Amino acid sequence: MIFSFYPLSDNKQAGAAGDWDLNYHYDMGAPITIADIKDNLSGLTYHPDSDHLFAVLNNPEEIIELSKQGKIIRRIALNGFIDTESIDYLGNGLFVVSEERRHRLVFFYIDSTTTMIDYANVDHIPLNWASDENKGMEGVAWSARYGFFVLQEQPPKLVHHTPHDAEPLLDASRLNDSLPDEVSDYAGISMLQAGEEYLLVLSEESHKLHALNLQGQPVSKLSLTTGLFNLWPLMEQPEGVAVDKDGNIFIVGEPNQMLTLTRKTRLAQIPDKPRS
């Protein structure tokens, strides 16, 4: 089941700052190293049925099921996949990953017994708009209402892909009109469910996390740096981002790091309204 989340603010000042003010509503932890992952930790998604995270590696191509504390639960081999950069959970056991070099979205099911997925048994759709083989499809996020939002790494670009049963955005052509000046690349993306939907977009080179509305307009941003004048990156190479049912945000990056942003203010959980 897919849920929407309406933030509950404990004072008026929080509401004035915005429901998804990343600085007001979150405490930032310290990055941890995930044991037994050597390198190439790339994308991340949240699986509400298990309350676990599912991460993807791009070499070797593999899915890692993780606890929210970064403990490895299970490894799933991706046989025949190439350059898997991002992952998202669509519901009912269905996942999607992006293959950057093939410019494809690839779909498959995972259940509690899955240990390997063979490329011969998957479905995929081509997205051939990326400008470069290795600067292409860096992130994918799924909205049950609007379809897919896919990131091009460089130059940074946000693309809306509408399946036949999804609603078109009112003006998808304006998604990139308000790109923040300091963003020179896109790395990871996730949906925020907060009454209306928002996009959580990660930039690796600028070391920032941005919340955007579905017109691409900035809602909030958070620096992933520390130290005097914020000159030191918290993570070596942030690559993927996911949000759990309580609104906590998880960021993973190469080679094998995970950072948790803990939600300080409560979220009220209600089911999505059924689509007509």
For the segment 236-255, what is each residue's pLDDT rounded down to a tens digit? 999 999 999 999 999 999 99
Q: Which domain does 139 fall in, by range?
A: 3-165+177-271
Tell whether 136 is covered by a domain. yes
Contact between 142 and 88 under an 8 Å Cβ cutoff? The reply is yes
Q: What's the alpha-carbon Rg for the chain, to the nearest Å?
A: 17
pLDDT at position 137 is: 76
> For residue 170, is it within any domain?
no
**Chain-wide mean pLDDT for the chain?**
83
99 domain-assigned: yes
pLDDT at 83: 92
Structural domain count of the chain: 1
- In-domain check, residue 192: yes
Q: Which two tokens stand for residue 73?
A: 């639960």
pLDDT at position 15, please?
37
**Percent of the chain clearing pLDDT 70 (strictly above):** 80
The backbone torsions φ and ψ at residue 167, rounded to the nearest 5 degrees and listed phi first, read -80, 135
Question: ∠ at Cα 151 (68, 69), nearest 5°?
Answer: 5
> pLDDT digit string (tens) for 65-109?
999 999 999 999 999 999 999 999 999 999 999 998 888 999 999
Confidence (pLDDT) at 94: 97
Whether the Cβ atoms of residue 199 and residue 192 lie closer than 8 Å to each other: yes
pLDDT band at 144 (very low <50, low <70, confident <90, very high): confident
Of the listed ranges 52-61, 69-78, 189-198, 262-271, the one predicted with least confidence: 262-271
pLDDT band at 180 (very low <50, low <70, confident <90, very high): low
Do the domain assignments include residue 200? yes
In a domain, 196, yes or no: yes
Distance CA 274, CA 179 (A): 33
Higher pLDDT, 211 or 163: 211
**pLDDT of 272 higher than 70:** no
pLDDT above 70 (res 150): yes
Asked if pLDDT for residue 259 goes beyond 50, the answer is yes
Residue 5 predicted with pLDDT over 80: no
Average pLDDT over residues 153-182: 70
In a domain, 276, yes or no: no
Q: With a cut of 50, say whether residue 13 has pLDDT above it.
A: no
| CATH number (domain holding residue 225) | 2.120.10.30
pLDDT band at 194 (very low <50, low <70, confident <90, very high): low
Q: Residue 171: inside a domain, yes or no?
A: no
- pLDDT of 112 reads 95
What distance in Å separates the CA atoms of residue 155 and residue 224, rounded to the nearest whole number? Answer: 21
- Local confidence band at 181 (pLDDT 50, 70, 90 cut-offs): low
